[in-house]
């Protein structure tokens, strides 16, 4: 097992570090080596040897001291983000067509619920391509061109089949289309990089942070519009409902790019994103506070509520929906709990966090098995419908995600558990993306 001490003792000794790395590879302990090296490089930003190793292993880049030369780049970064968000807001407004800007075929304009998520993904890709780190043409094509093409093709496919439809399958497609667009964006940023699963986990965590930031921006924007409408109503001018719908549509398109520019760095890979600014520290603290509460609630639920009302999810789909929502929420909580790949924790904190996460994964695995049995029973008794097929697939996917998280912990030493869990969750996110794509491509033809 690799500890931090060798990096401090052998810092500056190129041969010793090389031997340490080869020992880690031989002992299947490379993740611990990478974590220890990253911590040491962050503690000694002026060490040229550690910097060379950071670039060799494609780890978190060393923080550069702010200079006057970086200020024009930062200003350009925000100029692009603001201009892009204004344009994205106008596009969302046009797509909404005066109807509520929600991803629901029953309430929204077909152009909005079909085009909003792919358009948002294309806007983010354009921003990253303009302001991100330069690469060779092949890399830029793989990172930005192929995901953009995938989003356009998926949106065109959905539009051809579901334009004007409001049935159950259209509702399911509307729920999964944003996830597919998000997965295409993540694939472009994470694939063909070292430690792709960990990159995927970091991308998922940063996505949660961006979503929370976007929610704050959207709430502030709607509060501003509401207060402005209130001021004008006092003066005798009564803004209609159309004003609020228009403001919501514009905000829905504008805020994702602003949120990305606020908490993300377009020049860095997912694992090297800033984790000590924005909402990341708050997200880390919040998840650590929620972990023991979620663990206690889930334990009481499995030990008392489930035995007392065992057949409820077999008979009532609303109860089963609550169980499945709980499983997805806990997986999100587990993912966000490991926010910073380079976080420093004491030995006691590390052990406590590991025990909580593994216990939560084990209890959620049991709940997932229970929910899977319920949906299988309902399918056998009442037949296969689009909704049951989708839920059944998600139950299997979440069960596999939790199984990967638990199984991966048996084969790693104590120092590498966090990296192994991030890797397992990253692979699980890929399974979820594949199932969402399967719903879009297969479900319309099966039913």
pLDDT, tens only, 136-172? 566 777 788 899 999 999 999 999 999 988 888 999 9
In DSSP notation, 119-179 reads: HHHHHHHHHHHHHS----HHHHIIIIIHHHHHHHHHHHHHHHHHTT--SHHHHHHHHHHHH
Break the chain into its structural domains and give their ranges: 5-56, 80-272, 280-446
Which tokens hold the place of 239?
């803004």
pLDDT at 276: 86
Give 168-226 pLDDT, tens digit per residue: 899 999 999 999 999 999 998 888 777 888 889 999 999 999 999 999 999 999 999 88
Q: Categorize the per-residue pLDDT at 62 as very low, low, confident or very high, splitting at 50, 70 and 90.
A: very low
Q: Which residue has the tokens 């403001």?
A: 247
pLDDT at 66: 45
Give 257-295 pLDDT, tens digit per residue: 999 999 988 888 888 888 888 888 899 899 999 999 999
Average pLDDT, the chain: 85
pLDDT at 1: 40
* Confidence check: pLDDT of 33 > 50: yes
Q: How far apart are CA 350 and CA 348, in angstroms?
A: 5
Nearest one of 267, 340, 422 to 38, comparing CA atoms: 340
């Amino acid at each position: 097992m690799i500890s931090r001490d060798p990096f401090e003792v052998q810092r500056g000794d190129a041969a010793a570090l090389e031997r340490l790395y080869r020992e880690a590879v031989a002992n299947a302990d490379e993740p611990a080596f990478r974590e220890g090296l990253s911590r040491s490089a962050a503690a000694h930003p002026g060490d040229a040897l550690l910097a060379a190793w950071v670039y060799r292993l494609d780890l978190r880049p060393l923080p550069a001291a702010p200079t006057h030369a970086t200020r024009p780049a930062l200003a350009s970064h925000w100029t692009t983000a603001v201009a892009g968000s204004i344009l994205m807001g106008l596009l969302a407004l046009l797509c909404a067509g005066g109807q509520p800007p929600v991803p629901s075929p029953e309430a929204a304009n077909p152009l909005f619920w079909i085009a909003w998520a792919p358009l948002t993904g294309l806007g983010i890709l354009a921003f990253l391509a303009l302001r991100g780190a330069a690469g060779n043409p092949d890399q830029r094509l793989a990172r930005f061109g192929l995901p953009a093409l995938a989003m356009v093709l998926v949106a065109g496919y959905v539009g051809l089949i579901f334009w004007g439809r409001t049935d159950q399958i259209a509702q399911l497609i509307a729920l999964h289309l944003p996830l597919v667009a998000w997965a295409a964006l993540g694939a472009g940023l994470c694939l063909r990089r070292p430690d792709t699963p960990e990159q995927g986990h970091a991308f998922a965590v940063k996505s949660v942070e961006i979503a929370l930031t976007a929610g704050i921006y959207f709430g502030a924007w709607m509060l501003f519009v509401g207060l402005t409408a209130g001021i004008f109503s006092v003066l005798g001018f009564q803004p209609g409902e159309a004003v609020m719908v228009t403001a919501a549509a514009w905000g829905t398109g504008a805020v994702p790019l602003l949120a990305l520019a606020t908490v993300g760095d377009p020049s860095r890979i997912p694992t090297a994103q800033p984790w000590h600014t924005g909402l990341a520290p708050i997200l880390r603290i919040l998840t650590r506070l929620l972990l023991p509460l979620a663990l206690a609630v889930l334990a009481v639920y499995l030990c008392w509520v489930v035995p007392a009302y065992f057949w409820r999810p077999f008979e009532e789909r609303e109860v089963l929906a609550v169980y499945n929502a709980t499983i997805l929420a806990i997986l999100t909580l587990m993912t966000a709990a490991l926010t910073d790949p380079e976080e420093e924790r004491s030995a006691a904190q590390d052990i406590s966090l590991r025990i909580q996460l593994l216990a939560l994964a084990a209890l959620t695995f049991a709940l997932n098995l229970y929910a899977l049995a319920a949906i299988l029973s309902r399918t056998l008794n009442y037949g296969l419908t689009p909704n049951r097929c989708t839920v059944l697939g998600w139950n299997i996917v979440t069960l596999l995600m939790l199984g990967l998280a638990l199984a991966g912990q048996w084969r790693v030493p104590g120092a590498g558990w966090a990296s192994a869990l991030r890797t397992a969750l990253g692979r699980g996110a890929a399974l979820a993306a594949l199932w969402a794509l399967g719903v879009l491509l297969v479900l319309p033809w099966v039913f």
